[in-house]
């Protein structure tokens, strides 16, 4: 983290180093915080920074806030403007990650959602790869289960729910894997610790539906659109059984931080021919170009800073 940059905190843009909450803050004590993770990409040719699909990220953030009985005085457009204001305070010339949060801001004891003040905050950090082995990842099936919609909705990006993701990620990494696939309580594939999952079976791109305890990923939505429009392949949203993954031709995971991670092995079994597949490879190249605002047809996916 670069302490010399700026953040949005308690209604103002201030130096990041001064944006601090108390150890008694509700959102910190009880995980009653919702968040988003966006990226802005540096386009070297244009020498400009472009935020990737901020409207979608803020729309999901406000939906998460609704689930958690939170209310802030901004809509999507207002939040995009704040993001641009924060980014323009600093001279970023590289890819960055933007973390907006809405949190229960009162101090004190008492777990609940009602009669608490909500605050919006946001910071920016330089950001490279999230999964270092993103062209050849080895996944495992986690022994943890995905949180259920009736416990903590995975559809909401709720801080407290990320204890589940942390357990999944750490156990996978400590066992020597790059990332894990998590099953939901019905035994179906849901997603990774912080990314959605896709497989190619018989030439069809398949991903779990929004009702299988996933976060409704923005990268997931982009990949579905691009696969249909640019690659002309069929995309199906349906439940996936554990062993289907072993017999898939291709497997990859998607997320804002992760982008598109090609998985070539799951629990020591090779996926397809054990190398990144052609559909995965095409989508990775396409997505990277679009995210960096290099594709005129998709320029409305990027907001110039
Ligand atoms: N699932 C989970 C649990 C996540 O945390 C993320 C990252 N936001 C994703 C999926 C991918 O979503 P997106 O493409 O919107 O970043």
> CATH number of the domain that 13 lies in?
3.30.470.10
Mutate to test the pocket of ligand 1, among 56, 195, 212, 252 (most ligand atoms within 8 A of CB): 195
| Residue 276 domain flag | yes
* Backbone CA torsion sign across 10, 15, 20, 159: positive
| Residue 64 domain flag | yes
- Tell me the residue range of the domain where 270 lies: 137-291
DSSP structure class, residue 285: H
Contacts of residue 184, defined as CB under 8 A and 6 or more positions apart, other chains included, come to 145, 146, 148, 190, 212, 213
- Phi, psi of 253, rounded to the nearest 5 degrees: -120, 150
Residues of the chain with pLDDT under 70: none
Residue of 157, 169, 265, 297 with catalytic role: 157
Q: Give the pLDDT confidence of 67-122 residue by residue, as tens digits.
A: 999 999 999 999 999 999 999 999 999 999 999 999 999 999 999 999 999 999 99
Of 82, 102, 126, at which residue does a domain stop? Answer: 126
Task: CATH number of the domain at 250, please.
Answer: 3.20.10.10
Q: What is the pLDDT of residue 1?
A: 84
Active site residue 157: yes
**What's the pTM value of the predicted model, to 2 decimals?**
0.97
Q: Are strands 179-183 and 137-145 parallel, antiparallel or unpaired?
A: parallel
């Amino acid at each position: 983290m670069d302490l010399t940059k700026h953040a949005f905190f308690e209604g103002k843009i201030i130096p990041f180093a001064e944006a601090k909450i108390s150890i008694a803050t509700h959102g910190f004590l009880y995980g009653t915080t919702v968040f988003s993770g966006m990226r802005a990409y540096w386009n070297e040719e244009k020498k400009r920074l472009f935020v990737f699909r901020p409207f979608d990220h803020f729309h999901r953030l406000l939906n998460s806030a609704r689930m958690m009985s939170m209310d802030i005085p901004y809509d999507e457009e207002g939040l995009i403007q704040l993001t641009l204001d924060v980014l323009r305070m600093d001279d970023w010339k590289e890819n960055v990650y933007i973390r907006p949060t809405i949190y229960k801001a009162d101090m004190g004891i008492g777990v609940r959602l009602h009669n608490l003040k909500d605050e919006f905050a946001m910071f920016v950090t330089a950001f490279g790869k999230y999964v270092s082995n993103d062209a050849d990842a080895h996944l495992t099936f986690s022994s943890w289960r995905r949180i259920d919609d009736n416990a903590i909705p995975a559809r909401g990006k709720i801080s407290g729910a990320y204890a589940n993701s942390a357990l999944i990620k750490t156990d996978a990494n400590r066992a020597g894997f790059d990332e894990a696939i998590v099953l939901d309580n019905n035994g179906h594939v849901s997603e990774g610790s912080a990314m959605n999952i896709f497989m190619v079976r018989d030439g069809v791109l398949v991903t779990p539906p929004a009702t299988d305890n996933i976060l409704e990923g923005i990268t997931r939505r982009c990949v579905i659109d691009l696969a249909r429009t640019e690659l002309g392949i069929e995309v199906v949203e349906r439940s996936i059984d554990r062993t289907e993954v072993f017999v898939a031709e291709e497997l990859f995971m998607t997320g804002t931080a992760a982008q598109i991670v090609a998985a070539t092995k799951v629990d020591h079994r090779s996926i397809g021919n054990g190398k990144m597949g052609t559909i995965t490879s095409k989508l990775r190249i396409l997505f990277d170009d679009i995210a960096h605002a290099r594709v005129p047809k998709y320029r409305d996916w990027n907001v110039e800073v």
